[in-house]
Structure 1
Amino acid sequence: MGLGAEDSIERRFTYEWASGVWVPILSVALALVIGAVVVLAAGSNPINAYWQLFQGSFGSRYAISETLLAAVPLMLAGMAVAFSFRAGLFNIGAEGQIFIGAILSAWVGYTLNAPAILLIPLALLAGALGGAVWAGIAGILKAWRGAHEVITTIMLNYIAINLSHYLLESGPSGQPGPMEQHVQIGNPVTPPMNAHLSVIVPDSLVPGGRLHAGLIIALVMGVVFWFVLWRTTLGYRIRAVGLSPKSASYAGIHVGWHVAGAMIIAGVFSGLAGMVAIYGVYPYELSDSFSPGYGFDAIAVALLGKNTAVGTIAAAMLFGALEHGANLMEATAGISSHLTDVVQGLIIFFIGADAIVRYLSRKGMIRLPAYQEKAAA
């Protein structure tokens, strides 16, 4: 191998490493800078705004525990989207999969009068099964009928969300839905679960802390995510299908089976996100508003995390920090909490810019240096 080839390999490796590490960091930094300009234009102090945002997210042990609490469902939902991205699938349906997982796990939770040591595993299984089945519908339609997963998952989102409305909300004559127990502040809810996830921070360390065992579940699933994709034949084939379905098919890989399988596995992560969302936080009930959009935020989390387990968990923590810290920022600095939505949108924009450049290079619309073109291919 000549010096020129070695130099090309080194430069390509450097580019890929920089893209995987520095693009997310720079995207967050640029988003924060533009957010500061917006705050400044509104006549407020951006330094104070961001300081209050930081204090609300990491300024105390309680703040850190609440940030992690907000991040737990996003970790699982983000890994669901990231797993399907690895198979070349744009899974927009994490929200619907979360709802189905939550509905099934809630039904198990209030109908079975069993000890927590039995009920929690059954609820986890129900949530995972619900998400897997719901995602599997889109995967099967994609694999054997060519239906685009973006269209089918969006449609399945509407079905799942409206199914929860039917199960929970009273009808026009005031009859309760099949799963409704009572209406709480205008919001119909199920009976409370007969068991819940344990709080894992002692009150002596974090008074009033609510961080629960869902964090442990999310971290374990992060290891599962990595192991399946990088240490199993199934994961190798899924990644091969994601990189090039035609090449994978020529290599003897059944593309359809692996497309459907990837969506089913992704649905497991989403369904677990639905389960921990209702079993982890008091009053341990399923309501229409239990998800503030976890499945949609998960898309940004997966993109920011570059579809890796560690990156997705870190990105979920960032989004959890933005969500929780925004409350203190609004209360003390007088800055609307919607600023964090602006920052999140800008992060997605800058992350997407890198993907767009790679796409245009693959299509021959723009030219990059040779080592960048190989990395984009």
Structure 2
Amino acid sequence: MGYEINRFQQEINKEFICPICQGVLENPQQVSECEHAFCKACIDEWLKRQPTCPVDRKRISPKDLTPVPRILTNLLSNLEIACDNANYGCTTVVKLEKLPEHLRECYHSQTPVQCTKGCGITVPKYKSKDHNCVLDLRSIVEQQASSIAKMQSEINSLKASGITEMQTELTEMMVSGLSHMQTEITDHTSGIRFLKECMRSMVGSNPQTRLQFMLENEDFLRSLETARVTQWGSMISTPNDDMLEGIKSSLTENGCPLHLATELIEKATEKHWPSGLSSLDARQLNREQCEKYVAKRIPGKQAVLVLACDNNHVPENLIMDPGLVMIFSRGVE
């Protein structure tokens, strides 16, 4: 998918526009016979659906695609483009060929980075300098406490209208668990270890939370490095069986429980993905949201693991439990 035209500082020649996505060409390829040029990701996805040139409808196949002439590549490289983080305050304008280098250093970057001070929380890069382990973990604790309080209120409402003996026992167990948690909070007022134990205590009262998933798979999740996807257009939405088997093997070899690896791989194609990712048009429409994913690199593969427990900040139509396996032909750092 190409670059948005309104990010450029000069008028864009129509020869630089991809006929498919109507953006400025990104990693361009051309049809050798008719010389029509397209973004590589766009034309690759197009040819999966129909073997014709999008412009003149002549029959073509992937082997008919070649790189564009060097002069076009040079002209594109010299176009001046605004930073991807312009909406977050960055005013930098660079030549297109320098954009990846700038994004690696941009202070306003929304790229997620993992805290190295001990808590393991993932935050946007621009917030990392101000990140406070204790305060941010305490915020998570408070959110979980609020959820438990809401559940307690609902149970009390059921009790007022006449609940069964089993529901009464559940209420007593909830009250006991809350009392135990409040005692721990009173006795321990600081330290990451205390906060982590407090989180474990609360998860015991609500075993279906995403927080429980993090704790149950802590060793495996810690073994994964945070990843950055630079070429979203290279996503392989319908991987073959060999690809999927290779990803599954990598997951299990690096400590992923077999049942979890099996579940992730069974849902690793677009037909199983949520509505915001289930088609090329949907993914193009939600590309900006996808760039906010917190992703983990699957070792040795051009693939990432996007877990629901790491991505509470994205819309529900772009994530599902326990997470998504996304495979790319390139562009995973």
TM, length-normalised to structure 2? 0.22
Task: Select the structure that is richer in helix.
Answer: 1
Question: Greater CA radius of gyration, 1 or 2?
Answer: 2
TM, length-normalised to structure 1? 0.20
Q: Relative CO higher for 1 or 2, CA cutoff 8 Å, sep ≥ 6?
A: 1
